[in-house]
Amino acid sequence: MAVIDLANPTRFLSLVNRVLPWLALATLIVFVVGLYRAMGAPDDYQQGATVKIMFLHVPAAWLGMLGWALMSVAALGTLVWRHPLADVAGKAAAPIGAAFTFICLVTGSLWGRPTWGTYWVWDARLTSVLVLLLLYLGVLALYWTAEDPGRGSRAAAVLTLVGAVNLPIIKFSVDWWNTLHQPASILRMGGSAIDPSILAPLLIMAAAFTLLFFTLLLAAMRNEILRRRVRTMRLMQAREMPA
Q: Which residues bind other proteins (CB under 8 A)?
A: 10, 39, 43, 48-50, 52-53, 56-57, 60, 95-96, 99, 102-103, 106-107, 110-111, 113-114, 212, 216, 219-220, 222-223, 226-227, 229-230, 232-234, 236-237
Burial grade of 158 (CB within 10 A; 0-12, 13-18, 19 or more): middle
Nearer to other proteins, 95 or 201 (CB): 95
DSSP summary character for residue 184 = P
Nearer to other proteins, 111 or 157 (CB): 111
Q: Which residues pair with 44 in a beta bridge?
A: 48
CB of 232 to other proteins, least distance (A): 6
Q: What's the CA gap between 115 and 136, in Å, rounded?
A: 28
Q: What's the CA gap between 71 and 89, in Å, rounded?
A: 7
CB of 45 to other proteins, least distance (A): 13
CB of 185 to other proteins, least distance (A): 19
CB of 61 to other proteins, least distance (A): 12
Nearer to other proteins, 53 or 154 (CB): 53
CB of 118 to other proteins, least distance (A): 13
Using DSSP's 3-state secondary structure scheme, residue 243 falls into coil
Displacement of CA 216 from its chain's centroid (Å): 10
Nearer to other proteins, 116 or 172 (CB): 116
Q: What's the CA gap between 105 and 35, in Å, rounded?
A: 20
Nearer to other proteins, 17 or 185 (CB): 17
Q: What's the CA gap between 78 and 206, in Å, rounded?
A: 29
Confirm if 142 and 152 have CB atoms less than 8 A apart: yes
